[in-house]
């Protein structure tokens, strides 16, 4: 996973970077909210671990911006807020701003690892969902449908197109749908055209 860290405290940032790298993640490090926002817009990220209080844009505002960016069509980023805050209303505000989870500082390694594992499952589900949606959109774009009134000759059953050309039913439907034809004989036509076959 590609994880962005936005943390202004040197010690916390170094410990966090080394811990995540040891767990096999690719880590991008920033030291303030403004640099973090630039990286978020530029990089393809799976996670962002954001300090709540840091110079420039704070972690809560970054959460809001990330969610707005996603609603405009960018990929999903799982956001964990790092915070020394412990009041319920602070945590609620952070989650309502768009954070997926939070970890209290100083962070416990086992807790952080567990929360990242949860985030990995969510990111994988988001990717699978995005892939399915893309496949469905492509399939929908490929489907040709017949709709509306179709002008058809009452005697020969040919169909008139928008350019005033007349086509056989087979050629018209083949051109305007994904249908394929397989020819056979109905019982009435079999009796009418091949009476000797009985």
Same-domain pairing of 135 and 168: no
**pTM of this prediction?**
0.67
Evaluate whether residue 147 is within a structural domain.
no
Q: 80-132 pLDDT, tens per residue? A: 998 887 778 878 888 888 899 989 888 889 999 999 999 999 999 988 998 89
CATH of the domain at 76: 3.40.50.2300
Give the H/E segment covering residue 104: strand 101-104
| 63 inside domain | yes
In the predicted structure, residue 176 carries a pLDDT above the cut 90: no
How many CB atoms neighbour CB 15 within 10 A?
15
Mapping DSSP onto H, E and C, the string for 11-45 reads HHHHHHHHHHHHCCCEEEEECCHHHHHHHHHHCCC
The count of structural domains within the chain is 2
Is residue 149 in some structural domain? no
Say if residue 106 is in the same domain as residue 32: yes
> Has residue 153 been placed in a domain?
no
Mean pLDDT of 48-65: 91
More confident residue, 136 or 4: 4
Q: For residue 50, what pLDDT is reported?
A: 94
pLDDT at residue number 181: 82
Say whether both 96 and 178 belong to one domain: no
Is residue 130 located within the same domain as residue 164? no
What is the band of 134 on the pLDDT scale with cuts at 50, 70, 90?
confident
Residue 134 lies in domain: 2-141
């Amino acid at each position: 996973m590609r994880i962005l860290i936005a943390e202004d405290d040197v010690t916390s940032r170094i410990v966090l970077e080394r811990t995540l790298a040891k767990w096999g993640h690719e880590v991008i490090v920033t030291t303030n909210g403004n640099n973090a926002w630039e990286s978020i817009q530029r990089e393809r990220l799976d996670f962002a671990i954001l300090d709540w209080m840091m110079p420039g844009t704070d972690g809560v505002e970054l959460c809001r911006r990330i969610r707005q960016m996603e609603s405009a069509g960018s990929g999903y980023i799982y956001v964990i807020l790092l915070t020394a805050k412990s009041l319920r209303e602070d945590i609620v505000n952070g989650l309502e701003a768009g954070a997926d989870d939070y970890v209290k500082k100083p962070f416990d390694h086992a807790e952080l690892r567990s929360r990242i594992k949860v985030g990995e499952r969510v990111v994988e589900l988001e990717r699978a969902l995005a892939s399915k949606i893309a496949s469905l959109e492509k399939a929908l774009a490929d489907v040709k449908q017949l709709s509306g009134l179709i002008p058809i000759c009452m005697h020969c059953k040919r169909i008139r197109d928008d350019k005033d050309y007349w086509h056989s039913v087979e050629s018209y439907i083949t051109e305007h749908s994904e249908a394929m034809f397989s020819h056979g004989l109905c019982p009435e036509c079999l009796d009418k055209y091949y009476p000797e076959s009985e």
